[in-house]
Amino acid sequence: MLTKVWSMAHQGLQAIEIEVEVNVASRGFPSFNIVGLPTKAVEEAKERVRTALINTGVDFPSKKITVNLAPADIPKEGSAYDLPMAVGILLANGEIVLDGTKRYFYGEVGLDGKLRHTKGVFLLASLAKEKGVKEILVPKLSANEASVVSGVRVLPVDSLVSLIRHFREEKKIKALKNLAGKELIEEAEVDFDFSEVVGQEQAKRALEIAAAGGHNVLMVGPPGSGKTMLARAMPGILPELTEREALEVTRIYSVTGNIEPGGGLIRRRPFRAPHHTTSKMGLIGGGSKPMPGEISLAHRGVLFLDEFAEYPRTVLEALRQPLEDGMVSVVRVAGTVKFPARFMLIAAANPCPCGFLGHKKKECKCLPGQIINYQKRMSGPILDRIDIHVQVPFVEVEKLRDDVVMKENSLQVRQRVVKARKIQEERFKNETVFWNGEMKNKQIKKFSELSKDAERLLQQAADKFQLSARSYFRIIKVSRTIADLEGSRGVEYSHVAEALQYRVREVG
């Protein structure tokens, strides 16, 4: 007897509808075969499904069973086909009967018949919505991911037993309540607050400007000065995710299995801090079956590269294109996959290999030659994408009196950031860029006209500090953002004067 149920495969972030055909032949030697380009994980589904069904108390047919995953030319991988195969066998066996409506089945089955957390459920729900499929059956632990997609009935399945009882109308599974993404996002709290970082007023101000204008930042300072803490606080001062952004991020996290069991919509801006030994593919994305890398996981959030000087040159070079385009294309012989990667880059580095150059209390133990080499590694084209450069000195915390420490929390800073971003949205509504940080020379000329004395100041600075043409324009961009934070239409003297503090300079 031939049965058909529906499920999903994905290539990168692209979901594809899959038809799972199960044929239980009345003749032939007992066997269990899967065709349709299954990988090892799919192939092994045989054992899981067989054992799970037997342990659920179902009579497993000792007949020739053939499973076809159509379209047969797309490689299938992962364990999500366990459930549709099991359902197909149950149907063929006559254990359950389905009405004609189209449903998606998706999920990994354990040997005891329980359903496990499976990645990609959010993608399934989106596909269902797109194709007009009204109902999806997914593992209970993953069901929350799907609950934010409106118009789709999500049935959280806890085990094969409850699935059987559902279709036998003995005990119905209750559909999950649809949740409004917007409210979920508003409820989310900042997980690391600005006020927790003591001192570092200049660095905080730099991050505020960066957040307001979407500029990338380089922080230089000795170990223990709070670079990582500052970076962690960054997502909290960025505007809240919009619902659309949250869905984009959730999609990436769902596919890569980065949503923990029971988790739902990603409500906070991502913060990713890959180690400097991360491979190029791990960072950019790739693989024979391309998967998103760290930069895509940082989409709409913050990518923090600590020990910036330790990253291999090739890895940093690979970051350039995504920084420019806001997405990354992974090209393979089999085809090109695009992953979104619109993130803010925060890089941090020590001033020298030992880290204590210019430290108040500790002496730097590096040889001068080592320092020169170390700083050379930090230069190069990637630095051209970083507008703001800030020193993060060591702070003797016990010396700070409470009354002089600025205790502004993330929400207060965020309000100013949001205001500045509104101004930019208005400004760039007919342009291809979104924020000041993304402005090209053309837009800089169009939108950042300097007042007379501001221009004179910048010219003076260019001579005195020997600014390159690139840094010259970077300072204008940062000035524009400072002006926006102040709500000023034009870029004035004071804005440029402050922006000069964040120019990229030589250390050492």
> Which residues in this chain contact another protein in the complex, by CB under 8 A?
199-202, 204-205, 220-221, 351, 357-358, 363-364, 367-369, 372, 391, 393, 395, 400, 404, 457, 460-461, 464, 482, 494, 496-498, 500-501, 507-508
For residues 198 and 202, what is the distance between their CA atoms, to the nearest angstrom? 12
Least gap, CB of 222 to another protein (angstroms): 10
Q: Enter the DSSP assignment of 178.
A: P
- Please, what is the minimum distance in Å from the beta carbon of residue 159 to another protein? 59
State which residue, 384 or 498, has the beta carbon closest to another protein: 498
Q: Which amino acid is at 235?
A: P
Q: How far is the CB of 458 from another protein (least distance, A)?
A: 10
Pairing outcome for strands 14-25 and 64-70? antiparallel
Cα separation, 157 vs 167, whole angstroms: 12
Please identify, using beta-carbon distances, which residue of 97 and 372 lies nearer to another protein. 372
- Minimum CB distance to another protein, residue 492 (Å): 10
Rounded CA gap, 355 and 307, in Å? 10
- Residues 191 and 441: their CA atoms lie apart, in Å, by 37
* Minimum gap (Å) between residue 414 Cβ and another protein: 17
In the complex with another protein, the residue whose CB is nearer, 118 or 448, is 448
Q: Which is nearer to another protein, 204 or 227 (CB)?
A: 204
CB nearer to another protein: pick between 45 and 206: 206
CB 23 within 8 A of CB 63: no
Q: CB-wise, 169 or 363, nearer to another protein?
A: 363
In whole angstroms, how close is the CB of 447 to another protein at the nearest point? 21
Asked, as a colleague might, if the bond just before 71 is cis with ω within 30 of 0, I would say yes
Q: Which is nearer to another protein, 228 or 256 (CB)?
A: 228
Instruction: Please classify residue 401 by burial: count the beta carbons closer than 10 Å to its beta carbon, then call 0-12 exposed, 13-18 middle and 19+ buried.
Output: exposed
3-state secondary structure 348-384: EECCCCCCCCCCCCCCCCCCHHHHHHHHHHCCCHHHH
Map residue 22 onto helix, strand or coil: strand
What crossing angle do the helices spanning 121-131 and 243-255 adopt, rounded to 10°? 120
